[in-house]
C-alpha cells in the first residue's frame, strides 16, 4: 500500500545505490530540511485559516470568504502582504537581539519537529529519549520571547516577556509531569515505543481516569506554554497591545506568528502521540476484525486527524474563555495543576506497578 515509509525507503535505497554513504546522508538531510520548511509553510497557512474559520463560526460570522474559493487562499494573501512589508527595527532597540529573536523562535519550532512520527516508520530521527528531547527543547521557546521583549526597548514588550517567562517556566512542570504518566505506563522514553505500546488501545482509554486527568492537565499546560488564550498573557491584546511582539512588523512578526502556530501543532502532535496513539489506528484489545478494518486507513491520516482534533480543542478554548490574570495564572499552576498532577502521577505509578491498566 502507498505510504510515507515506502516512499522514504525507495528514495533511501536509490540514493545509497547512486551515491557514497556520506553523500546519501547529506542529500537526505537536505531533502528532510526542505520537507520540514515546506511543512512549516503549509501548516502556517492551514492553521491560520483554520483558526479564522473556527473563530468565525463560533462568533456567528462567516470568516474569510473573499480570496480564492471559499477564502482558501486568504492566508496566502496575508503572507504575501507580510513579505512585502517593511521590517522595521525601532531606534532604541538592541538590533542584533531584536532580529535574532524571531529566528530563534523558528529554530526551536523546527528542532521540535525531529522526533515526531508522522506515520508508521516515518520519522526524521528515531531518538531513544524522544520525550526528554521534546520537553527540553520546548522550554527554549521562552528564550526567544524574552529576547524579543528585552531587545524591543518597549515597556509593553518587556512586561509581556516577563509574564511569558514566569508562565512558561511554571507550566513546564505540570506538562512534564503529565507526560511522565505516559512514560511510566509505557516504560519508555522513545516516542516510537510509546506508540507501539498503544497497539491494543490508546492510553487515554487504557489508562482509566488518571490518564484522562493527565491528558487534561497536559492540554491546559501546553495551551499555557504556547501562549494561547486563555493564557495569552504575553500578548494580552487589551492590556499590553501586543506584548512581546509589539515592535515587530513585516516578516519578523510573521515568523513569531508562524512559530506560535507551529508550536501549537507540535505540542498537539506530542499530545496525540502520547495519549491518542500517534499514527496508531483505533484498536480495541483483541478484536482482530475491527482492528484490521481500522488498519486500512493510512497511518498519516490517523496522526494528522488526531493532531488537528487537539488543535481544534485549543482553538475552541481560545475563542470561549476570558484571559486569566498573571497571579491567577500562577495560582492555577502552583495550587491546582502541580499538586493534582503529582498526586495523579502517584496513582499512575501505582497502576503501572499493579498492572491495573488494560
Of residues 78 and 232, the one with the C-beta less far from other proteins: 232
Q: Which residues contact 332 (CB under 8 A, 6 or more apart)?
A: 220, 324
Of residues 12 and 237, the one with the C-beta less far from other proteins: 237
- Report in angstroms how near the CB of residue 200 gets to other proteins at its nearest: 30
Of residues 252 and 323, the one with the C-beta less far from other proteins: 323
Q: What share of the chain is helix, strand, coil (3-state, %, to 5)?
A: 70, 0, 25
Under DSSP, the state recorded for 117 is E
Q: Which string of b and e fits 121-154 if b means at least 16 CB within 10 Å?
A: ebbbeebeebbebbbebbbbbbebbbbbbbbbeb
Of residues 11 and 216, the one with the C-beta less far from other proteins: 216
Of residues 118 and 248, the one with the C-beta less far from other proteins: 248
Of residues 182 and 233, the one with the C-beta less far from other proteins: 233
Of residues 195 and 211, the one with the C-beta less far from other proteins: 211
Residue 211: burial class (beta carbons within 10 Å; 0-12, 13-18, 19+): buried
Task: Yes or no: say if 211 and 178 are a contact pair by the CB < 8 Å rule.
Answer: no
SS (H, E, C) 159-171: HHHHHHHHHHHHH
Closest CA to 274 of 320, 223, 214: 214
Site of interaction with other proteins (CB under 8 A): 54-55, 57-62, 65, 155-156, 159, 163, 229-230, 232-233, 236-241, 316-317, 319-328, 336, 340
- Report in angstroms how near the CB of residue 61 gets to other proteins at its nearest: 5
Of residues 149 and 277, the one with the C-beta less far from other proteins: 149
Of residues 181 and 337, the one with the C-beta less far from other proteins: 337
- Report in angstroms how near the CB of residue 323 gets to other proteins at its nearest: 3
**Alpha-carbon distance 323 to 239, whole Å?**
10
- Report in angstroms how near the CB of residue 317 gets to other proteins at its nearest: 8
**Alpha-carbon distance 105 to 147, whole Å?**
10
List the grid coordinates of 352.
Answer: 503501572
Alpha helices in 90-207 (DSSP H): 95-112, 130-138, 141-151, 155-186, 191-196, 203-206
- Report in angstroms how near the CB of residue 321 gets to other proteins at its nearest: 6
- Report in angstroms how near the CB of residue 65 gets to other proteins at its nearest: 8
Place of cell 505540542: 267
- Report in angstroms how near the CB of residue 91 gets to other proteins at its nearest: 17
- Report in angstroms how near the CB of residue 156 gets to other proteins at its nearest: 7
**Alpha-carbon distance 352 to 182, whole Å?**
10
- Report in angstroms how near the CB of residue 239 gets to other proteins at its nearest: 5
Q: If residue 265 lies in a helix (H) or strand (E), which one and from where to where?
A: helix 250-275
List residues bridging with 122 in a β-sheet: 119
- In degrees, rounded to 5, the angle at the alpha carbon of residue 307 between the alpha carbons of residues 304 and 308 is 85
**Alpha-carbon distance 358 to 354, whole Å?**
11
Amino acid at each position: 500500500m502507498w505510504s510515507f515509509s515506502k516512499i522514504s525507503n525507495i528514495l533511501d535505497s536509490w540514493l545509497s545505490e547512486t551515491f557514497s554513504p556520506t553523500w546519501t546522508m547529506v542529500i537526505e538531510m537536505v531533502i528532510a530540511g526542505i520537507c520540514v520548511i515546506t511543512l512549516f509553510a503549509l501548516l502556517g497557512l492551514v492553521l491560520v485559516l483554520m483558526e479564522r474559520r473556527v473563530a468565525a463560526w463560533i462568533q456567528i460570522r462567516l470568516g474569510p470568504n473573499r480570496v480564492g474559493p471559499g477564502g482558501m487562499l486568504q492566508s496566502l494573501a496575508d503572507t504575501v502582504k507580510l513579505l512585502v512589508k517593511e521590517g522595521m527595527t525601532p531606534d532604541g532597540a538592541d538590533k542584533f537581539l531584536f532580529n535574532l529573536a524571531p529566528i530563534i523562535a523558528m529554530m526551536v519550532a523546527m528542532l521540535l519537529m525531529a522526533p515526531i512520527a508522522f506515520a508508521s516508520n516515518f520519522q526524521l530521527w528515531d531518538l531513544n529519549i524522544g520525550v526528554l528531547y521534546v520537553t527540553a527543547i520546548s522550554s527554549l521557546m521562552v528564550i526567544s520571547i524574552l529576547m524579543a521583549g528585552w531587545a524591543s526597548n518597549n515597556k509593553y514588550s518587556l512586561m509581556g516577556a516577563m509574564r511569558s517567562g514566569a508562565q512558561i517556566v511554571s507550566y513546564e512542570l505540570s506538562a512534564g509531569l503529565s507526560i511522565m504518566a505516559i512514560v511510566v505506563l509505557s516504560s519508555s522514553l522513545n516516542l516510537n515505543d510509546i506508540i507501539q505500546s498503544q497497539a491494543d488501545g490508546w492510553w487515554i482509554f487504557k489508562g482509566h481516569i488518571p490518564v484522562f486527568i493527565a491528558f487534561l492537565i497536559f492540554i491546559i499546560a501546553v495551551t499555557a506554554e504556547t501562549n494561547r488564550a486563555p493564557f495569552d498573557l504575553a500578548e494580552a491584546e487589551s492590556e499590553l497591545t501586543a506584548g512581546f511582539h509589539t515592535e515587530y512588523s513585516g516578516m519578523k512578526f510573521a515568523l513569531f506568528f508562524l512559530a506560535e502556530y507551529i508550536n501549537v501543532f507540535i505540542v498537539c502532535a506530542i499530545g496525540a502521540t502520547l495519549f491518542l496513539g500517534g499514527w496508531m489506528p483505533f484498536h480495541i484489545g483483541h478484536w482482530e476484525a475491527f482492528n484490521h478494518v481500522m488498519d486500512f486507513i493510512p497511518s498519516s491520516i490517523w496522526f494528522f486527524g488526531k493532531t488537528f482534533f487537539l488543535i481544534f480543542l485549543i482553538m475552541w478554548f481560545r475563542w470561549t474563555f476570558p484571559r486569566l490574570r498573571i497571579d491567577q495564572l500562577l495560582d492555577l499552576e502552583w495550587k491546582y495543576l502541580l499538586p493534582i498532577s503529582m498526586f495523579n502521577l502517584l496513582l499512575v505509578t501505582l497502576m503501572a506497578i499493579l498492572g491495573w491498566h488494560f
